[in-house]
Amino acid sequence: MAETKDVHHHLVEIPASADHENKLISAVKDHPLMEISDSPGHLLLLKLLQREEDLSGRLIALKETRLDTLRRQVFQLCLFFFAFHILFFTILFGSSNNNNVAGVTVCHKWWIPMTTSSSFCIVMVVLVHMKIFSYWKVHGQILRAKTENRGLARCIQELRMKGVSFDLSKEANNGKSMKSSSVEIKWKPITYCRRYLVTICLVLASGLVLPVCKFMVCY
């Protein structure tokens, strides 16, 4: 019984003071978000910035999906390039052996398979190069979009922290500074070779294919 009385004694509610409630109310009223809600200009700016940030995030996601598609297409084109030449050389080797057995000389027609192979190589190299060019173009757009998105996030955070003391004209200046900060860097030869390494490899492979065709036909 004594323990029960002690428990009831400790559970006695302590009424909150009026001063404490007034401090809480004043703190809520002085919060930057409450100030923004009472200012039409700042509230509109916050909504516009949040909407622009959301649209920028969706655009980045779409462009990243585009990058994945371009990578897959380049891989498929390269696979088709090598698969075609494996089949082409197999047929060419078989036909040259049959001609040698029959005693027929077809060396003067070496330009026919070489023209076929070179035409195919040119088309494939151009297609791959276009895909890789589009890849790096989209990659640069993603980098610029992410830079602008980080600037928007900083601006939104600053607006939420400062409230009505946030300068509305700063948003226009911030947008100009973000655009001016995205300076295009000229491609150096090493950077160019690194970006278009696949195209360079296909060109080298095409250069090796042409003499192989003549060798297989004439010897």
Confidence of residue 187 (pLDDT cuts 50, 70, 90): low
Confidence of residue 82 (pLDDT cuts 50, 70, 90): very high
User: What is the extent of the structural domain holding 196?
Assistant: 20-59+66-218
Residue 6 included in any domain = no
How many domains, in total, are found in the chain?
1
Residue 119 included in any domain = yes
Residue 203 included in any domain = yes
Rounded to whole angstroms, the Cα distance separating 3 from 127 reads 87
Rounded to whole angstroms, the Cα distance separating 155 from 164 reads 14
Confidence of residue 7 (pLDDT cuts 50, 70, 90): very low
Alpha carbon distance, N-terminus to C-terminus of the chain: 113
Residue 34 included in any domain = yes
Residue 107 included in any domain = yes
Does the pTM of the predicted model rise above 0.95? Answer: no
CA 52 from centre of chain: 19
Tens digits of residue pLDDT in 126-176: 999 999 999 999 999 999 999 888 888 888 888 777 766 666 665 545 554
Residue 8 included in any domain = no
Are 124 and 77 in contact, with CB atoms under 8 Å apart? Answer: yes
Residue 5 included in any domain = no
Residue 37 included in any domain = yes
Tens digits of residue pLDDT in 25-68: 444 445 556 666 666 766 777 788 888 888 988 999 999 999 99
